[in-house]
C-alpha cells in the first residue's frame, strides 16, 4: 500500500506549541501521522522573540521583521502576515532547504492563506513533484483583518482587507480540499470553490497535572476560587476581555479574582480600560504570563471557572474547546460558542452577553460548587479530542488520493 505524503506549511513554529494557532497546526500534523501519512512540516514566521526563543523544526525559517512591515513601499504595522508569503517565496535558500526536508509529496497542506506565494514557488520549481493543495482555513481572515484595521482607524482598511480577501479566494479556488472550522465558515468557503469543503473543527489535547505542581501554583495564586482566561496578545483577545466586563471588574466581589495566563495579561493591564479603574481592577486580577504545558495544566486544574470573553472575529476558538472539556464552570459570550453550539447545554455553562450580564455570571459561578460529574456530559466532552474533530480532513485526503 502506498503511503500518502504530506507537507504541512504553517505561519508559526509547531514544535513546542503555546498559542492556539500553533496547537491547531501541531494537532493537524499529529492527526495525519496517526492516520499513517508521511508528514513533513515547515513554517515561515516573523522573527519575534516569542518564536525564535522556542524550539524550531529543521526547515523552519524566521523572517526578518523589517521586511514584513512594508505595504506597497510604505511602512505599515498591519501587514506582517500578508507580507510574509512574498518575503518567504523570495528566499531561494530557504526554499531549497524546505524541498530537501519535504522530498516528494502528494499534498501540500497550507494552514491559513499567508504562504500561498510559497506554494506557487514550490509548484514552479517542481522539486517536490506535482501535488494537490489542501487549504486549511482557521478563519475568514479578511473579516478579522478589517475589524483590526477599523479599531486602529487605519486609512488602508479597504485596500489591505481587500488584498486578504483576494488571497483567501485564490487559496480556496486552487485547493483540491478545503478545511473549515465551523459550518458558517464552510458556507463562505464553498462559495469560492468547487472543491470539497470539510468540517475540521478545533479540538483539545487532554491534559494532566501532578499535585506538586498544583500546590506550587496554589501558593502563588492563593487558596480562593478564581476564573481563568488563557489567551495570547492577539488584539481581539485583549478587546474581548475589556468589552465583556463592561466599564471595569467592579461586577466581581473584592475577594474574587480573574487569572490571566498567556501574553494577554501584560497587554490588558496597559489598556485605558484597565487603567481607568486601576486600583479596583488590580485587586481582582492576577497575571501569570506565558506558561509551559505542565504549569498551564496545573492552573487549569485549579481553576473554578473558565472565561470565554469573545466579542469579535470569525472561525472558532480553541480555548472554547479546552474550557468545555474541563468540566468546570464556563462563562462564554454567544460568539465564543461558534462551532460548539451542539454543546450549549453542558452542565455549568453560562452563555451571556458582554457587559453586566457577563460580569454577574462570573461572580455567581465563583460562588457555586462545581457541576456534578455526569456520564452523558463526559462522553460528549470526549468528542472534542483532536482525532475526532480532524477525522473528516484525514478522510478527505485519503479519499482524494484513492481516486485515480
Residue 237 is part of a domain; what is its CATH number?
3.40.50.2000
State what percent of residues in the chain have pLDDT above 70.
Answer: 99
Confidence of residue 403 (pLDDT cuts 50, 70, 90): low
Is residue 372 predicted with pLDDT exceeding 90? Answer: no
Sheet strands side by side (includes 38-46): 61-63, 38-46, 5-10, 107-111, 132-136, 177-180, 197-199
Task: Write out the residue range of the structural domain in which residue 21 sits.
Answer: 5-203+386-402
Averaged confidence pLDDT in the chain: 94
Distances from the Cα of 306 to the Cα of 320, 324, 333, angstroms = 9, 8, 12
List of E strands, 254-338 = 257-261, 285-289, 305-308, 329-332
Task: Output phi, psi for 180, to 5 deg.
Answer: -115, 155
3-state secondary structure of 351: strand
34-48, 147-161, 202-216, 243-257, range with the lowest pLDDT: 147-161
CA 336 – CA 321 distance, rounded (Å)? 10
Is residue 314 predicted with pLDDT exceeding 80? Answer: no
Looking at the fold, whether 137 and 231 belong to one and the same domain comes out as: no
3-state secondary structure of 260: strand
Is residue 404 predicted with pLDDT exceeding 60? Answer: no
Query: What angle, 0 to 180 degrees and rounded to 10, lies between the N-to-C axes of helices 157-174 and 141-151?
Result: 170
3-state secondary structure of 295: helix
Looking at the fold, whether 42 and 178 belong to one and the same domain comes out as: yes
Looking at the fold, whether 142 and 274 belong to one and the same domain comes out as: no
**Computed from CA positions of residues 75, 92, 51, 162, in that sequence, does the dihedral angle turn out positive or negative?**
positive
Looking at the fold, whether 231 and 111 belong to one and the same domain comes out as: no
- Summarize the chain as % helix, strand, coil (round to 5): 45, 15, 35
DSSP conformation class of 337:
G
State what percent of residues in the chain have pLDDT above 90.
Answer: 85
Confidence of residue 101 (pLDDT cuts 50, 70, 90): very high
Looking at the fold, whether 316 and 397 belong to one and the same domain comes out as: no
pLDDT at 402: 64
pTM: 0.88
pLDDT in tens, 218-238: 999 998 999 999 998 888 899
Mean pLDDT of 104-132: 98
The residues near 55 (Cβ < 8 Å, ≥ 6 apart) are: 13, 15, 16
Sheet strands side by side (includes 226-230): 285-289, 257-261, 226-230, 305-308, 329-332, 349-351
Looking at the fold, whether 66 and 199 belong to one and the same domain comes out as: yes
Task: Output phi, psi for 225, to 5 deg.
Answer: -70, 145
Looking at the fold, whether 33 and 175 belong to one and the same domain comes out as: yes
129/234: higher pLDDT: 129
Looking at the fold, whether 349 and 398 belong to one and the same domain comes out as: no
How far from the centroid of its chain's Cα atoms is residue 87's Cα?
A: 23
pLDDT at 312: 84
pLDDT at 401: 74
Looking at the fold, whether 237 and 154 belong to one and the same domain comes out as: no
Q: Could you give the number of structural domains in the chain?
A: 2
CA 63 – CA 46 distance, rounded (Å)? 5
How far from the centroid of its chain's Cα atoms is residue 175's Cα?
A: 22
Looking at the fold, whether 40 and 124 belong to one and the same domain comes out as: yes
Looking at the fold, whether 129 and 110 belong to one and the same domain comes out as: yes
Cell of 358: 457577563
**Residue showing cell 501569570:** 288
pLDDT at 61: 97
pLDDT at 241: 96
Q: Is 360 left (phi over 0), alpha (psi -120 to 50) or beta?
A: alpha
Looking at the fold, whether 238 and 143 belong to one and the same domain comes out as: no
pLDDT in tens, 178-209: 999 999 999 999 999 999 999 999 999 999 99
Confidence of residue 66 (pLDDT cuts 50, 70, 90): very high
CB 141, CB 181: distance < 8 Å = no
Cell of 143: 473579516
Is residue 308 predicted with pLDDT exceeding 80? Answer: yes
Amino acid at each position: 500500500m502506498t503511503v500518502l505524503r504530506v507537507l504541512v506549511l504553517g505561519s508559526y513554529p509547531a514544535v513546542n506549541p503555546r498559542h492556539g494557532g500553533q496547537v491547531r497546526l501541531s494537532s493537524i500534523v499529529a492527526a495525519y501521522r496517526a492516520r499513517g501519512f508521511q508528514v513533513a512540516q515547515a513554517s515561515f514566521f516573523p522573527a519575534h522573540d516569542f518564536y525564535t526563543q522556542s524550539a524550531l523544526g529543521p526547515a523552519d525559517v524566521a523572517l526578518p521583521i523589517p521586511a514584513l512591515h512594508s505595504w506597497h513601499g510604505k511602512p505599515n504595522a498591519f501587514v506582517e502576515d500578508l507580507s510574509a508569503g512574498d518575503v518567504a517565496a523570495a528566499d531561494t535558500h530557504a526554499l531549497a532547504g524546505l524541498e530537501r526536508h519535504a522530498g516528494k509529496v502528494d499534498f501540500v497542506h497550507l494552514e491559513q492563506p499567508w504562504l500561498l506565494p510559497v506554494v506557487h514557488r514550490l509548484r514552479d520549481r517542481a522539486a517536490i513533484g506535482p501535488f494537490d493543495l489542501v487549504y486549511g482555513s482557521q478563519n475568514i481572515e479578511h473579516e478579522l483583518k478589517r475589524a483590526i484595521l477599523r479599531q486602529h482607524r487605519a486609512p488602508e482598511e479597504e485596500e489591505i482587507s481587500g488584498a486578504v480577501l483576494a488571497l483567501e479566494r485564490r487559496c480556496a479556488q486552487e485547493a483540491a480540499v478545503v478545511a473549515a472550522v465551523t459550518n458558517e465558515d464552510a458556507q463562505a468557503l464553498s462559495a469560492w470553490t468547487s472543491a470539497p469543503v470539510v468540517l475540521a473543527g478545533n479540538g483539545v489535547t487532554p491534559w494532566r497535572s501532578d499535585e506538586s505542581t498544583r500546590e506550587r501554583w496554589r501558593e502563588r495564586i492563593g487558596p480562593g476560587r478564581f476564573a481563568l482566561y488563557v489567551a495570547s496578545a492577539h488584539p481581539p483577545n485583549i478587546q474581548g476581555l475589556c468589552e465583556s466586563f463592561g466599564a471595569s471588574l467592579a461586577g466581581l466581589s473584592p475577594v474574587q479574582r480573574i487569572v490571566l495566563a498567556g501574553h494577554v495579561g501584560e497587554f490588558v493591564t496597559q489598556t485605558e480600560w484597565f487603567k481607568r479603574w486601576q486600583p479596583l481592577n488590580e485587586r481582582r486580577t492576577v497575571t501569570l504570563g506565558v506558561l509551559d504545558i505542565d504549569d498551564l495544566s496545573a492552573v487549569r486544574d485549579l481553576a473554578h471557572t473558565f472565561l470565554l470573553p469573545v466579542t469579535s472575529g470569525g472561525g472558532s476558538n480553541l480555548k472554547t474547546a479546552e474550557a468545555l472539556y474541563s468540566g468546570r464552570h464556563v462563562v462564554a459570550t454567544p460568539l465564543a460558542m461558534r462551532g460548539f453550539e451542539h454543546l450549549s447545554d453542558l452542565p455549568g455553562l453560562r452563555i451571556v452577553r458582554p457587559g453586566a450580564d457577563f460580569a454577574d455570571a462570573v461572580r455567581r459561578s465563583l460562588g457555586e460548587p462545581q457541576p456534578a460529574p455526569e456520564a452523558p456530559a463526559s462522553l460528549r466532552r470526549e468528542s472534542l479530542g483532536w482525532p475526532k474533530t480532524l477525522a473528516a480532513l484525514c478522510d478527505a485526503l485519503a479519499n482524494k488520493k484513492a481516486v485515480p
